[in-house]
């Protein structure tokens, strides 16, 4: 597969993200709160189940997760005003980008996202301007170990569409309809799940210069620092040397 998620594109940022653990937790809590609007039982609410999974992957304490779910049910909780918006644009070199935000103020958020794009040689586009280049897929990350054939056979048997190796882990891609099944099968087989998430994936690569690649890194970091941003995706890059 030509395209993969932010986890493969920018996994080298993990150390920096760990240093910003408090901000990461805040974003996850907001995601839990929004998901919990549709029900507090993760067995029924798949969005909540995935948000809780993300929380545990980030080493968030169980009681903190439970408090976030309970708080979301209060009528005066600020999360009741949050709405999900995806902004689309082009980064340096014409790389297509999607920015998923949760916001209680559209005007504030679009102004901040637009400023980030313009400051780093990008352009915020209209709805639909780049989303056609992406598709939603499930992605699961497990560490590389001596059971490669076991995991590979298991996920392929249940419909995985891709299996890629990145340094110390495998990245498994699935269709949306097969994501939950494959994730549960891996859990039942005692595989170590490092990441499980629904992602926006582009199958089209783009060739850019090293300078443009650095600018995209800066734009990503700027967008990631925004209080309202939840996830950012961009086309896989081939950097000219």
Residue 234: beta bridge partners?
Answer: 97
**206-208/169-174 β-pairing:** unpaired
pLDDT band at 72 (very low <50, low <70, confident <90, very high): confident
Instruction: Tell me if 164 sits within 8 A of 4, measured CB to CB.
Output: yes
Q: What are 115-126's pLDDT values in tens digits?
A: 999 999 999 999
Please name which of 29, 73, 81 lies closest in space to residue 55, comparing C-alpha atoms: 29
Token match 């708080």: residue? 71
> What does CATH list as the number for 133-202?
3.30.70.980
Find the helix packing angle between 46-57 and 62-71, rounded to 10°: 140
Say if residue 16's pLDDT is above 60: no
In the block, tokens 């990503």 appear at 220
* Domain residue ranges in the chain: 6-80, 84-116+207-239, 133-202
What is residue 5's predicted lDDT score, i.e. its pLDDT? 46
Within 13 A of 126's CA, how many CA atoms are on the CB side?
A: 0
Terminal-to-terminal C-alpha distance of the chain: 23
- Grouping H, G, I as helix, E, B as strand and the rest as coil, residue 143 is strand
Confidence at residue 78, expressed as pLDDT on a 0 to 100 scale: 66
Q: Which CATH class is domain 6-80?
A: mainly alpha
Report residue 156's pLDDT band, with 50, 70 and 90 as the boundaries. Answer: very high
Decide if 6-80 and 84-116+207-239 have a common fold.
no
Asked if pLDDT for residue 85 goes beyond 70, the answer is: yes
pTM, to two decimals: 0.83
Sign, CA torsion 184/189/190/191? negative
d(CA 119, CA 105): 21
Domain 84-116+207-239: top CATH class? alpha beta
CA–CA distance, 109 with 143 (Å, rounded to integer): 36
pLDDT in tens, 196-238: 999 999 988 999 999 999 999 999 999 999 999 999 999 999 9
pLDDT at 2: 40
Which pLDDT does position 90 carry in this prediction? 97
Distance CA 111, CA 124 (A): 10
């Amino acid at each position: 597969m030509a395209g993969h998620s932010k986890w493969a594109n920018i996994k080298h940022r993990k150390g920096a993200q760990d240093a910003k653990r408090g901000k990461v937790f805040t974003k996850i809590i907001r995601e839990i709160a929004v998901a919990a609007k549709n029900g507090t039982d993760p067995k029924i609410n798949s969005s909540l189940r995935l948000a809780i999974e993300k929380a545990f992957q980030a080493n968030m304490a169980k009681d903190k997760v439970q408090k976030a779910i309970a708080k979301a049910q209060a009528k005066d909780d600020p999360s009741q005003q949050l709405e999900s918006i995806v902004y689309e644009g082009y980064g340096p070199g014409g790389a297509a980008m999607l920015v998923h935000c949760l916001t209680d103020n559209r005007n504030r958020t679009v102004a901040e996202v637009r400023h980030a794009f313009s400051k780093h040689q990008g352009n915020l586009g209209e709805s639909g301007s780049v989303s056609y280049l992406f598709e939603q897929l499930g992605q699961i990350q497990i560490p590389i170990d001596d059971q490669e054939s076991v995991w590979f056979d298991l996920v392929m048997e249940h419909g995985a569409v891709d299996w890629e190796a990145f340094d110390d882990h495998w990245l498994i891609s699935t269709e949306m309809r097969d994501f939950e099944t494959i994730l549960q099968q891996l859990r039942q087989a005692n595989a170590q799940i490092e990441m499980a998430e629904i992602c926006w994936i582009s199958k089209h690569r783009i060739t850019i210069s090293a300078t443009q690649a650095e600018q995209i890194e800066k734009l990503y970091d700027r967008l990631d620092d925004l209080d309202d941003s939840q996830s950012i995706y961009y086309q896989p890059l081939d950097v000219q040397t």
